[in-house]
Amino acid sequence: MVGNWKMNGDRGSIAVLLSGIRAASRDRAAAGAATLVVCPPYPYLAQAAQALEGSGVQVGAQDVSSYEAGAFTGEVCASMLIDAGCAWTLVGHSERRMLLGESDALVAAKGRRALAGGLGLIACVGETLEEREQGRTEAVLARQVDALGELAASARADRFVLAYEPVWAIGTGRTANPEQAQAAHAFIRARCARAGFADADSIRLLYGGSVKPSNAASLFAMPDIDGGLIGGASLVSEDFMAIARCAAPAA
């Protein structure tokens, strides 16, 4: 279960959020059995890593450079993220693809650097509303997954996660219904196998797009939905933990 905090918060509000998550994660019944990852903005990564140390909740970045190190103003490379306490990074979020013009090739290059540098990778894919309405959902997902195929050799299932995030469901309050999401996830899993991922059956596929405590259980009940990438609702620790419990209730 991954919380994407996007460009929200400040030192004080993030401290409150972290302490809520830390407190809830102490109680296994309250936390559920899901692997928990939070992705704060860059300046708060070290703060998060320190606050969550020993809690079992892991820290991820929202992006990573496609370069290794050196004269790349404004970039942050994988080794720096690890140094700040990150275990994971997102790449290919639709906000970056659309607002910052990130291409499939750049997303794959970032993924390659992340994996080579020792980070786990959470790669996002998903179609826009226009693409869905034009019947191009599968073609778009196939293109985005195929572009990640070059990572297949280096991406073990425990370090490579895919997130299906229909762009029309992100931050809109409009969620894919469980059947729509399941169909996309099944397609993505099959496409991973075709793109060369030997362990496609065990790659964790997260659904993201307006997940809330009220709709999480029905989404996570689907066979190919293994967890969630949560935006807005992850900014409230009680909501994030309530969603996490839906993914993997404690035994």
Q: How far is the CB of 72 from ligand PEP (least distance, A)?
A: 25
230 binds ligand PEP (CB under 6 A): yes
Handedness of CA 241, 22, 231, 84 (dihedral sign): negative
Does 210 help bind ligand PEP (rule: CB under 6 A)? Answer: yes
Active site (annotated) includes residue 93: yes
| 238 flagged as catalytic | no
Which of helix, strand or coil describes residue 238?
helix
Instruction: With contacts defined by CB under 6 A, name the span among 64-72, 113-121, 151-159, 227-235 that binds ligand PEP.
Output: 227-235
Choices 8-16, 128-136, 151-159, 208-216; region in contact with ligand PEP by CB under 6 A:
208-216
Two tokens, residue 61: 């970045």
Amino acid at 135: G
Catalytic member of 95, 102, 165, 185: 165
Say whether residue 100 binds ligand PEP (CB under 6 A).
no
Give the Cα separation of 126 and 129 in Å (integer). Answer: 10
CA distance 89 to 221: 26
Decide: is 246 part of the binding site for ligand PEP (CB under 6 A). Answer: no
Instruction: Compute the distance between CA of residue 91 and CA of residue 63 in angstroms, rounded to an integer.
Output: 5
Site string for ligand PEP, 188-207 (x = CB under 6 A): --------------------
Residue in 1, 3, 4, 145 binding ligand PEP, rule: CB under 6 A = 4
C-beta of residue 10 within 8 angstroms of C-beta of residue 47: no
Please report how close the Cβ of residue 88 comes to ligand PEP at its closest, in angstroms.
Answer: 14
Nearest to 203 by CA among 244, 156, 144: 156
Q: Which is nearer to ligand PEP, 93 or 189 (CB)?
A: 93
- Closest C-alpha among 62, 95, 103, 96 to residue 209: 95
- Number of CB atoms found within 10 A of residue 155's CB: 27
Contacts with ligand PEP by CB under 6 A lie at 4, 165, 170-171, 208-211, 229-233
- The residues carrying an active-site annotation are 93, 165
